[in-house]
């Protein structure tokens, strides 16, 4: 699902115009980005937490010349930790999958009835 499709779903469920839904989604994303740029954290209870971290600088290898070592500068990156509600929602096994079949008890075979 992309941003436009998300806006369509939000517009339909909230009885908004598509433009209002797009503006709302953009505002939410911009707010999260602004908070992460300032070094803060955004926690959405049940869904997850966004935070920015600084990845340490390190020595790497030049892919064009593997014998050459290069210095990689520290960089700020976004991290996401899923919340309990999201984790639990993803743990549900759809019926008919191999994993759901493995967790179900194996049915007993029908009793054999002698025929004459």
Q: Are residues 44 and 84 in the same domain?
A: yes
CA-based nearest residue to 21, from 34, 29, 11, 9: 11
Return the pLDDT at 92.
75
102 part of a folded domain: no
Q: Are residues 24 and 51 in the same domain?
A: no
Q: Are residues 29 and 6 in the same domain?
A: yes
- For residue 21, count CB atoms less than 10 angstroms from its CB and return exposed for 0-12, middle for 13-18, buried for 19 or more: buried
Domain of residue 23, residue span: 1-38
Cα gap 47→6, rounded to integer Å:
17
Q: Are residues 44 and 90 in the same domain?
A: yes
9 vs 102 pLDDT, higher one = 9
Render pLDDT for 60-100 as a digit per residue (tens, 0 to 9). 999 999 999 999 999 999 999 999 999 998 887 766 665 55
Phi, psi of 70 (to 5 degrees): -130, 155
107 part of a folded domain: no
Total count of domains within the chain = 2
């Amino acid at each position: 699902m992309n941003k436009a499709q998300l806006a369509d779903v939000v517009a339909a469920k909230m009885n908004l115009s598509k433009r209002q839904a797009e503006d709302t989604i953009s505002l939410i994303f911009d707010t999260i980005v602004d908070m992460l740029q300032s070094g803060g954290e955004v926690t959405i209870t049940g869904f997850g937490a966004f935070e920015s971290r600084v990845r340490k600088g390190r020595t790497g290898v030049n892919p064009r010349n593997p014998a050459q070592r290069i210095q990689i500068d520290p960089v700020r990156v976004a991290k996401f930790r899923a919340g309990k509600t999201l984790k639990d929602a993803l743990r549900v096994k759809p019926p008919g999958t191999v994993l759901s079949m493995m967790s179900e008890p194996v049915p007993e075979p029908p009793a054999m009835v002698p025929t004459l």
